[in-house]
């Protein structure tokens, strides 16, 4: 399938017109607030370009990053729950982003008329569910080092670009961002990063991370991706056991 931006422009937008859906692609600059925590939940968004951070503000004022969404993902999935009337998190763009806003009835109308969109949405939802399961296992049973390895493995599957050096993550991941995603302190995450560097699993500075030993990182994260009994893999990874 063509890129998601082309898919939105050439397939989804013409389809909205054919179906009588009044929806326009909306462009947000980097750092823009798409919606705030506690605001009424009345719109669902298809991400066509860019990156969006979904985060939750704790009672003590700290921010916890729940996920980073990419083109093809849905933003505002709480709308699927009929009793959820308010946003339980806030959404902020990390780079210039194109979003297609839809109400729920229009979204289901689009799904019923686009097999490609349905396939993309199901793939995105399945990944998010399995990634959440892996991160929950790691946070419950793993050390901060193992939690970080699991998170980096999951991120490289979606945001990794292969090169002669290994796999470069296209996301800018500061120590603070990683700490917010893991629910840990920056000091603990910084120590875990140093350990992974000493193990020659990763390298990089200033938020750019390169996974230099992909099989090695996988082995560290494997118990939480497969389960300790070697159950079904999270993805069709070339490093899964044979």
Query: Bridge partners of 8?
Result: none
The answer to whether residue 176 is domain-embedded is yes
Q: Which residues of 24-53 are buried (b: 16+ CB within 10 A; e: fewer)?
A: ebeebeeebebbeeeeebebbbbbbbbbbb
pLDDT-based confidence at residue 137 (cuts at 50, 70, 90): very high
Of 83 and 221, which is predicted with more confidence?
221
Instruction: Read off the CATH number of the domain in which 151 is found.
Output: 1.10.10.10
Given a cut of 50, is residue 196 above it in pLDDT? Answer: yes
Of 38-52, 63-77, 226-240, give the lowest mean pLDDT range.
226-240
Residues 89 and 168 grouped into a single domain: no
Q: Determine how many CB atoms are found less than 10 A away from the CB of residue 62.
A: 11
Residues 102 and 193 grouped into a single domain: no
Residues 81 and 158 grouped into a single domain: no
Residues 106 and 144 grouped into a single domain: no
Domain that holds residue 102: 4-113
Residues 64 and 141 grouped into a single domain: no
The pLDDT tens digits of the residues spanning 59-112 come to: 888 888 999 999 888 999 888 887 888 999 999 999 999 999 999 999 999 999
- What per-residue confidence (pLDDT) applies to 101? 94
Instruction: Read off the CATH number of the domain in which 78 is found.
Output: 2.60.120.10
Quote the distance between the C-alpha of residue 8 and its chain's center: 19
Q: Label residue 206 left, alpha or beta by phi (over 0 means left) and psi (-120 to 50 means alpha).
A: left
Tokens of 81: 């729950």
Mean pLDDT of 32-46: 93
The answer to whether residue 153 is domain-embedded is yes
Number of domains in the chain: 2
- Dihedral of CA atoms 85, 130, 205, 164 in degrees, nearest 10, equals -140
pTM exceeding the 0.85 threshold for the entire prediction: no
Contact 32, 157 (CB under 8 A): no
Mean pLDDT of 149-157: 93
The answer to whether residue 157 is domain-embedded is yes
Which DSSP category does 40 fall into?
A: B
The answer to whether residue 132 is domain-embedded is no
Task: Quote the Cα angle for 233-237-239, to 5°.
Answer: 100
Of 81-85, 154-158, 176-180, give the lowest mean pLDDT range.
81-85
Residues 21 and 64 grouped into a single domain: yes
């Amino acid at each position: 399938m063509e890129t998601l931006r082309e898919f939105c422009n050439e397939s989804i937008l013409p389809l909205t017109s054919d179906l009588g859906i009044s929806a326009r692609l909306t462009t947000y600059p980097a750092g823009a607030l798409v919606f705030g925590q506690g605001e009424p939940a009345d719109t669902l968004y298809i991400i066509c370009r860019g990156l969006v951070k979904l985060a939750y503000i704790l009672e003590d004022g700290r921010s916890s990053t729940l996920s980073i969404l990419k083109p093809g993902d849905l933003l505002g999935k709480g709308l699927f729950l009929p009793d959820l009337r308010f946003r339980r998190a806030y959404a902020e763009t990390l780079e210039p982003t194109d979003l297609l806003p839809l109400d729920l009835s229009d979204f289901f109308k689009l799904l019923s008329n686009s097999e490609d969109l349905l396939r993309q949405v199901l793939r995105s939802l399945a990944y998010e569910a399995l990634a959440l399961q892996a991160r929950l296992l790691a946070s419950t049973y793993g050390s901060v080092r193992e939690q970080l390895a699991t998170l980096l493995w999951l991120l490289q599957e979606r945001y990794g670009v292969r090169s002669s050096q290994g796999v470069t993550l296209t996301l800018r991941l500061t120590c603070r961002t990683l700490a917010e995603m893991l629910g840990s302190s920056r000091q603990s995450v910084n120590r875990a990063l140093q350990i992974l560097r000493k193990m020659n699993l990763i390298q990089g500075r200033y938020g750019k991370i390169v996974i230099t030993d992909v099989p090695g990182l996988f082995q560290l994260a494997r118990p939480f991706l497969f389960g300790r009994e070697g159950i079904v893999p999270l993805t069709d990874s070339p490093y899964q056991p044979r």
